[in-house]
């Protein structure tokens, strides 16, 4: 049986069964790796895509395979290793970033779009991969993919970057695209000013004629009757004319307090994706990307030290600017010693998230206290879930927040193998994107940990 031809047939039928954005995001890059003894091995491009397809579309894929093979198949999903060309490698592997033209920068700035916020310099990891995939799908077929696309998450996780990346991609392809970009608070203030100056018609024409409407921090209009009324009609007008809306928020639509039901219904009719705080690997990639854009040469070990100590992505850029200035002033390249010195200076000044000095023992104590178990139990041999989950949380935090190696973490936990630690870190990293309770627990441990650290 020609499995390549079989899979093409299966994909063609899947494409008819799901929406176009879902197909391109989830299935287009999959591959039937093997079909033997009734077991179909299906390759996916990432752990996140593997989980999504296996969770949501297992039955669909199995039924199609059964129909074409006349077998009762079992499905196994694996992550495909991929050899990347320089062009395909994307933002995590780019060695240099191309600079936009002067005309493009002027056009973007005139539209209030940051020209440096592009897909090419957006670092992708499991914490933001789905949002990235959705944004690229929207950029490819605006108004036909996810409409509206709502990206939500905390401060500095990349929501605005992705939103502006869509705009930059569109105006680069079609400079005449009518793009309107506004903050939620500005939208509210403009309505008030339009009413006061009797210029509401001009306000309506500007927003309702948009082919791409971007509203940052849309939660600000919640509870404002006039703003919600106008946004409801603006929303309908843009969609009716085939335009695309992209909104960002600090929380999902269902959790925005005092949002009118009709708006909530419109928001939930599109796609809402969250971006979790960046893990250690993603922060390290962000350090590399921002260093390249700033023209700063940062060795790998220096970048990893920065990523281990600064968790806010905006703070990373600020620190790199300071590092470049200090290195130039001292006439020395960025080094471990210089970064350590600057981080200590930040501690003495009492500023900067992620600059706290936390020992592995303090982390062990914080995790044990949070889960109500003994530290010796975390280090012990028991593997049942009530013990295994806290142990994996410790592994994740030790790797991401303290920057410890897998071997070091295994040593702290009674001599566990580094592969066990890798699995634990991977498990927590993936679940943080979908498990709200786990995410809140991890954040609670971190907050308590840093609080204790500042007191010591």
pLDDT score for 79 = 78
Residues 212 and 230 in one domain: yes
355 found inside a domain: no
| Per-residue confidence (pLDDT) for residue 61, from 0 to 100 | 93
Both tokens assigned to 118: 């592009």
**Residues 255 and 310 reside in one and the same domain:** no
Domain end among 300, 322, 349: 349
CATH code of the domain containing 411: 1.10.1750.10
Please tell me the distance from the alpha carbon of residue 434 to that of residue 130, in angstroms, as a whole number.
11
Confidence of residue 90 (pLDDT cuts 50, 70, 90): very low
Confidence tier at 333 by pLDDT (50, 70, 90)? confident
pLDDT score, position 64: 93
* Amino acid 100: pLDDT: 62
CB-based contact 30:38 (threshold 8 Å): no
Closest of 335, 152, 145 to residue 245, by C-alpha: 145
Give the C-alpha separation, 345 to 309, whole Å.
Answer: 13
Q: Is the pLDDT of residue 94 over 80?
A: no
The answer as to whether 200 is a domain residue is yes
Tell me if 119 sits within 8 A of 314, measured CB to CB: no
Closest by CA to 403, choosing from 274, 288, 300, is: 300
Q: Is 1 in a helix, a strand, or coil?
A: coil
Residue with tokens 């992620």: 354
* pLDDT class of 168 with cuts at 50, 70, 90: very high
240/201 same-domain check: yes
Cβ pair 222, 267 in contact under 8 A: no
Q: Tell whether 96 is covered by a domain.
A: yes
DSSP 8-state symbol, 217: S
Same domain as 99, residue 46: no
In a domain, 113, yes or no: yes
Residue 28 covered by a domain:
yes
428-451 residue pLDDT tens:
877 775 677 888 888 888 877 765
How many angstroms separate the first and last alpha carbons of the chain? Answer: 67
Q: CA-based Rg of the chain, rounded to a whole angstrom?
A: 24
Dihedral sign from CA coordinates of 220, 222, 224, 229: positive
Q: Is residue 354 in a domain?
A: no
Largest CA distance in the chain: 75
Do residues 242 and 200 share a domain? Answer: yes
Of the candidates 56, 79, 102, which is a domain's last residue? 79
Indicate the average pLDDT of the chain.
Answer: 83
Instruction: Report percent pLDDT > 90 for the chain.
Output: 36
Q: How many structural domains comprise the chain?
A: 4
**Highest mean predicted confidence (pLDDT) among 79-88, 215-224, 279-288, 322-331:** 215-224
Cα 86 to Cα 30, 96, 101, 120, distances in angstroms? 21, 10, 22, 12
* Together in a domain, 147 and 73: no
pLDDT computed for residue 350 by the predictor: 37
Residue 356 has pLDDT above 60, yes or no: no
- Residue 84 in domain: no
pLDDT of 249 higher than 90? yes
Averaged pLDDT for residues 294-321: 83
Q: Which residues are annotated as a binding site?
A: 156, 158-160
Given a cut of 90, whether residue 346 has pLDDT beyond it is no
Selection from 155, 156, 221, 149 nearest residue 182 by Cα: 221
Residues 208 and 147 in one domain: yes
98 and 72 in a single domain? The answer is: no
Cis upstream peptide for 16 (omega within 30°): no
Residues 55 and 103 in one domain: no
d(CA 170, CA 174): 6
Is residue 63 included in any domain, yes or no?
yes
- Reading the block at residue 116, the tokens are 């440096």
For 204-220, what is each residue's pLDDT tens digit?
999 999 999 999 999 99
* Co-location of 115 and 131 in the same domain: yes
Q: Which residues are annotated as a binding site for ATP?
A: 156, 158-160
The domain containing residue 315 runs over which residues?
A: 280-349
In the listed set 50, 79, 108, which residue is the last one of a domain according to the structure? 79
Per-residue pLDDT reduced to its tens digit, 97-115: 455 666 767 777 788 898 8
Which CATH number belongs to the domain containing residue 326 in this structure? 1.10.8
Q: Which of 243-257, 338-352, 403-417 has the highest mean pLDDT?
A: 243-257
CB count in 10 Å sphere of residue 175:
12
CATH number for the domain harbouring residue 100: 3.40.50.300
Strand boundaries in 234-333, DSSP class E: 244-249, 271-275
* 122 shares a domain with 195: yes
pTM of the model: 0.57
* CA–CA gap between residue 213 and residue 167 (Å, rounded): 9
Taking Cα atoms as reference points, which of 113, 167, 159 lies closest to residue 138? 167
Given the DSSP bridges, would you call strands 271-275 and 244-249 parallel, antiparallel or unpaired?
unpaired
Between 355 and 390, whose confidence is greater?
Answer: 390
- Same-domain status, 345 and 413: no
Residue 82 predicted with pLDDT over 70: no
pLDDT tens per residue across span 120-164: 888 887 788 889 999 999 999 999 878 999 999 988 788 999 999
């Amino acid at each position: 049986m020609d499995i390549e031809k079989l899979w093409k047939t299966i994909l063609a039928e899947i494409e008819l069964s799901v929406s176009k954005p879902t197909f391109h995001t989830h299935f287009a890059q999959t591959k039937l790796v093997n079909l033997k003894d009734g077991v179909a091995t299906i390759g996916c491009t990432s752990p996140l895509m593997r989980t999504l397809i296996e969770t949501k579309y297992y039955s669909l894929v199995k039924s199609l395979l059964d129909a074409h093979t006349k077998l009762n198949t079992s499905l196994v999903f694996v992550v495909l290793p991929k050899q990347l060309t320089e062009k395909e490698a994307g933002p995590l592997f780019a060695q240099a970033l191309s600079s936009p033209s002067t005309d493009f920068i002027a056009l973007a700035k005139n539209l209030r779009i940051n020209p440096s916020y592009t897909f090419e310099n957006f670092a992708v990891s499991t914490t933001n991969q789905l949002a990235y995939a959705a944004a690229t799908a929207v950029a490819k077929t605006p108004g036909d993919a996810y409409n509206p696309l709502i990206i939500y998450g905390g401060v500095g996780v990349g929501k605005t970057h992705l939103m502006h990346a869509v705009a930059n991609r569109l105006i680069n392809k079609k400079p005449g695209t009518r793009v309107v970009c506004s903050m939620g608070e500005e939208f509210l203030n403009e309505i008030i000013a339009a009413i006061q100056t009797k210029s509401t018609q001009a306000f309506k024409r500007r927003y309702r004629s948009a082919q791409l409407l971007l509203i940052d921090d849309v939660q600000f209009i919640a509870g404002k009757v006039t703003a919600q009324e106008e946004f409801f009609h603006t929303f309908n007008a843009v969609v009716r004319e085939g335009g695309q809306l992209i909104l960002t928020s600090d929380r999902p639509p269902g959790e925005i307090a005092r949002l009118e039901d009709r708006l909530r219904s419109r928001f939930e009719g599109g796609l809402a994706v969250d971006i979790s705080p960046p893990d250690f690997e993603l922060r390290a990639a962000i350090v590399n990307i921002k260093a390249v854009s700033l023209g700063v040469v940062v060795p790998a070990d220096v970048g990893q030290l920065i990523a281990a100590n600064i968790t806010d992505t905006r703070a990373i850029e600020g620190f790199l600017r300071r590092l470049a200035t200090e290195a130039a002033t001292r006439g020395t390249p960025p080094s471990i010693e210089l970064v350590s010195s600057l981080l200590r200076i930040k501690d003495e000044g009492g500023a900067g998230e992620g600059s706290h000095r936390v020992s592995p023992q303090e982390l062990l104590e914080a995790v044990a206290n949070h889960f109500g178990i003994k530290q010796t139990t975390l280090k012990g041999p028991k593997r049942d879930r009530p013990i295994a989950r806290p142990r994996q949380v410790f592994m994740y935090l030790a790797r991401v927040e303290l920057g410890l190696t897998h071997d070091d973490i295994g040593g702290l936990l009674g001599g566990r193998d580094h592969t066990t630690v890798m699995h634990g870190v991977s498990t927590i990293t993936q679940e943080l994107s979908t498990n709200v309770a786990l995410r809140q627990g991890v954040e609670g441990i971190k907050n308590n940990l840093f609080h204790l650290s500042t007191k010591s």
